[in-house]
Amino acid sequence: MPQAKVLNEREIRKVLLSIATKKHAARNRAMFTVLNLTGMRVGELAALRLADVLTSEGEIREEIYLSAQMTKGSKGRTVFLSDKAQEEIKNYLQVRFKLKDLVPVTFTDTSRALFSSQKHPDRGFTASTLAQHFHYMYKSAGIAGASSHSARRGFLTALSNKGVSVRVLMELAGHSGPAVTMKYVDTNPQLLRASVNLL
């Protein structure tokens, strides 16, 4: 089976433009962007609850702890949120709850899904329904060969292209060994050319 396509910047913009024209734009934009900025698996994204991202002061956490039940390898790990990822989540929650200040949300049931679905507002998406949802988002943007795994591959490839070591990539991805991580990293002619020009 071919690996999920790694999107270039133009294709990412294309997906974001497509998302902006459809229903649930704030939620879909946040899900797409957070996956691209964290390298989380789609099942991990689906498992997130409001309490995982919101502090008691109504701020977005800098780190999300994924419990063993939420991850693929049954081993907990920490996901680091960049300023950009925190901003995306904050914007989405402000739209979802129609609030500028998110403190009131902390007094509600924060065990509800971070990303609510129409069918199950509290439980949210399952891993498979969210994977399907991403499939349709890519399809409606006219991107072939992409899947919910594209963002994870893109995240690791982009960091590798910027010189981040395999050891760090492995930690960020929650992989047990470097060989698994390297399968995710996409090489391209431009990167190969730039590499030989370093000499």
| pLDDT reported for residue 189 | 66
| Residues 103-161 pLDDT 10s | 999 999 999 999 999 888 899 999 999 999 999 999 999 999 999 889 989 888 888 88
Tell me the mean pLDDT in the region 12-23: 97
- Are 19 and 110 in a shared domain? yes
- Are 49 and 89 in a shared domain? yes
- Are 104 and 172 in a shared domain? no
- Are 116 and 179 in a shared domain? no
6/12 Cα distance (integer angstroms): 10
- Are 133 and 176 in a shared domain? no
Residue 2 maps to a domain: no
- Are 28 and 122 in a shared domain? yes
- Are 110 and 135 in a shared domain? yes
Residue whose C-alpha is closest to residue 57's, from 105, 116, 3: 105
Residue 173 maps to a domain: yes
pLDDT over 70 (residue 192): no
Domains contained in the chain, number: 2
Residue 121 maps to a domain: yes
Q: Find the Cα–Cα–Cα–Cα dihedral 6, 10, 11, 17, rounded to 10°.
A: 150
| pLDDT reported for residue 130 | 96
| Residues 40-82 pLDDT 10s | 999 999 999 999 999 999 999 999 999 988 888 778 899 999 9
- Are 136 and 157 in a shared domain? no
What's the domain range around 157? 151-196
Question: With bands split at pLDDT 50, 70 and 90, how would you rate the model's confidence at 165?
Answer: confident
Residue where a domain stops, chosen among 126, 143, 160: 143
pLDDT over 70 (residue 175): yes
Residues of the chain by 3-state class (helix, strand, coil), percent to 5: 50, 5, 40
Nearest-Å Rg of the Cα atoms of the chain is: 17
- pTM attached to this predicted model: 0.88
| pLDDT reported for residue 164 | 83
Question: Which CATH number is 136's domain given?
Answer: 1.10.443.10
- Are 67 and 92 in a shared domain? yes
| pLDDT reported for residue 25 | 97
64 burial via Cβ count (<10 Å: 0-12, 13-18, 19+): buried
CB 54, CB 61: distance < 8 Å: yes
Residue whose C-alpha is closest to residue 173's, from 20, 40, 72: 40
Tell me the mean pLDDT in the region 83-107: 97
Q: Residue 188 phi/psi, 5° resolution?
A: -145, 160
